[in-house]
Chain A
C-alpha cells in the first residue's frame, strides 16, 4: 500500500491510496467516522437560566461546539467505563443584554477550548442571565455525532484506454471534466480528474474501474488535524487487529 498526498491543509487531507482494495479503504473510512475519539460537552449543570429558551436547547447547542482535543490525554482503547477518567470543566456566566458566544466558555484546561469563539449560543435581553458549568469528556462518533472527528470518504479511480480512438480531437473534446489532453498524436489521461462518466466511449475509448487505487479524503471539524485523525484511525485499526490475534492465540479448546 502506497500513499500519495494530493492536498494537505490543517483540517483537510486528500490522498491517493495505491495497491489496495476497497475493503481496507472502507475500514479506514469507518474508523475515522466512528472510532477516532475527540472531546465534547456531555454534562451541563445549569444554575441560572432566565433566557427565553429551554435548558435542553442551550445544552444541545453547547454539545455541538467542537473542542480542541489533545490526543495524548485520551485513554485508549476508549470505552464507556474509562471515558470519564479524563474530563475538563467549562464555565459560563453571562448577563444580558448580550449575545452569548462560544468564546464566553472558560475552560479549566487551556488546551481544551472551543475551536472557534464566534459560535452564537443564545441571545440575552436586559435582566436575563445564563450561568452554567459543563463537563467535557472524550467519546466516539459511534456513540453520538458530537464526538465525530470529521468526514471521511473515498472515490473510485478509472482507467481509460484511448488507443482505439479514431477521431482523437472529438474524443478529447467530449470529456466534460477535461481529463483527456491531446499531446501530439497521443492522448494524455489524468486519472485524478476522471469520474468515469463514459462520454469518451462514443469515440472508441474503453473505460474501466481501477480497483487498486482510491482517492481518500478526511475533513475534520477542527478538534484535531486531519493528519492526527488519519494516524489515530490507523493506530486503532492496528490495535484491534492485534487484539484479535492474541484472542485467537490464547484460545483453549
Chain B
C-alpha cells in the first residue's frame, strides 16, 4: 500500500520524503547516497525506504468489500 507516514521504530516523519527518494532512485541514483542527502542517519528509518514495495496502484481499481 502507500508508504508509511512515520518510521515504525522511532516515529520520525518519513512520508514527506518518499516522492523525492523514489524519483532519484528511479533515475539511477544510489539509494545509500540519496538517504544520506535526505538526512536519514538511523537505520530504522533507512530500512523503511529501502524495503518498501508500493502496491497502492495495484489495489486502487478494486472496491473494498
A residues engaging B (CB < 8 A)?
51-54, 57, 61, 64-66, 102, 115-116, 118-125, 128, 145, 148, 151, 219, 221-222
Contacts and interface: CB of A to CB of B under 8 A. Distances in A.
Interface residues of B, number: 23
A227 B31 CA distance: 32
B63 to A, nearest CB: 7
Give chain B's interface secondary structure class: loop
A116 B16 contact: yes
For A123, A145, A151, A222, the residue with the greatest tally of chain B CB atoms inside 10 Å of its CB is A123
A221 B16 CA distance: 12
A121 B2 contact: yes
A45 B13 CA distance: 24
Contact of B64 (A53, A64, A148): A53
A125 B12 contact: no
A222 B16 CA distance: 12
B12 A122 contact: no
B19 to A, nearest CB: 6
Contacts of A54: 64
Contacts of B64: 52-54
B55 to A, nearest CB: 10
Contacts of A116: 13, 15-16
6 contacts: A52-B63, A53-B1, A64-B5, A123-B56, A125-B61, A222-B13
B32 to A, nearest CB: 22
A52 B2 contact: no
Contacts of A51: 60
B62 interface: yes
A52 B59 contact: yes
Nearest to B57: A123
Interface in B12-51: 12-13, 15-19
A123 B16 contact: no
Contact of A151 (B5, B11, B18, B60): B11
Given A123-B57, A151-B11, 7 more contacts: A54-B64, A64-B4, A66-B13, A118-B17, A119-B5, A120-B2, A148-B11
Given A65-B5, A118-B16, A118-B19, A123 B11 contact: no
